[in-house]
């Protein structure tokens, strides 16, 4: 029961050393692989970010995880993410597999009901995105788009949205 609050100074030292080493290693591999590793451009990127945090926590707090095992897991995860994003930039089929297409949710003041159902977005959730843009009504919206990363982009009617930015949007 005493282990709940404090186990030993040896445990504290082990946690400090493992956490410091893992943190420094993570900084190095993130600098080597570039900024894209931690962006959340799509669901896959977000999963990698969460998984890296989980691995770091496991290294730091789980005495059953040797530091080398954790560093290998981090390295492999970042390597896989690097390879997938490298391929998705160069191969359209890989990009389509990894990244979902943006979806049109509102067009010229009209909700796209089928798209809302497909994306599992309620009108109330969409209204939040519209209010963030200072819009009081769907009738003030030229287009609202569910982006491939899950964010909702709203173009007000007053904006002169260039149609080329909407060319990859489904719906």
Q: What is the DSSP string of 31-82?
A: HHH-GGGG--SSHHHHHHHHHHHHHHHHHHH-TTS-HHHHHHHHHHHHHHHH
Strand segments, DSSP code E, in 7-140 are: 103-107, 110-111
Are residues 25 and 92 located together in one domain of the fold? yes
Which pLDDT score, from 0 to 100, does residue 70 have?
Answer: 95
- Tens of each residue's pLDDT in the chain, 171 residues: 567 777 788 888 999 999 999 999 999 988 888 777 777 677 777 888 899 999 999 999 998 999 999 999 999 999 998 898 899 889 999 888 888 888 999 999 999 999 999 999 999 999 999 999 999 999 999 999 998 888 899 999 876 655 566 666 776
Q: Tell me the β-bridge partners of 81.
A: none
Sign of the torsion angle spanned by Cα atoms 69, 74, 77, 79: negative
Asked which of 50, 66, 97 is the last residue of a domain, the reply is: 97
Residue 165 to residues 137, 151, 155: CA-CA distances in angstroms? 23, 15, 11
Q: Is residue 84 part of a domain?
A: yes
Are residues 21 and 61 located together in one domain of the fold? yes
Which pLDDT score, from 0 to 100, does residue 47 have?
Answer: 85
Considering its fold, how many domains does the chain have in total?
A: 2
- The whole-angstrom separation of Cα 65 and Cα 45 is 25
Extract the tokens encoding 24: 């420094």
Q: Is residue 159 part of a domain?
A: yes
Are residues 27 and 83 located together in one domain of the fold? yes
Strand segments, DSSP code E, in the chain are: 103-107, 110-111, 141-146, 152-156
Q: Is residue 54 part of a domain?
A: yes
104 near 169, Cβ under 8 Å?
yes
14 near 67, Cβ under 8 Å?
no
The whole domain housing 6 covers 2-97
Q: Tell me the β-bridge partners of 103.
A: 146, 170
- The whole-angstrom separation of Cα 127 and Cα 54 is 34
Asked which of 97, 127, 146 is the last residue of a domain, the reply is: 97
53 near 74, Cβ under 8 Å?
no
Are residues 109 and 150 located together in one domain of the fold? yes
Which pLDDT score, from 0 to 100, does residue 57 have?
Answer: 95
Q: Is residue 162 part of a domain?
A: yes
């Amino acid at each position: 029961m005493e282990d709940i609050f404090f186990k030993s100074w040896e445990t504290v030292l082990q946690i400090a050393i493992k956490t410091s080493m893992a943190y420094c290693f993570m900084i190095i591999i993130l600098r080597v692989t570039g900024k894209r590793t931690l962006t959340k451009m799509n669901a896959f990127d977000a999963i990698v970010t969460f998984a890296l945090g989980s691995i770091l926590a496991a290294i730091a707090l789980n005495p059953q995880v040797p530091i080398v095992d954790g560093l290998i897991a981090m390295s492999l995860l970042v390597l896989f993410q690097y390879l997938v994003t490298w391929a998705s930039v160069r191969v359209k089929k890989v990009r389509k597999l990894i990244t979902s297409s943006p979806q049109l949710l509102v067009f010229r003041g009209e909700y796209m009901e089928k798209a809302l159902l497909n994306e599992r977005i309620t009108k109330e959730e969409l209204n939040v995105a519209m209010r963030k843009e200072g819009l009081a009504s769907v009738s003030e919206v030229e287009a609202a788009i569910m982006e491939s990363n899950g964010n909702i982009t709203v173009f007000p009617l007053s904006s002169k949205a260039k149609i080329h930015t909407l060319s990859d949007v489904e719906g």
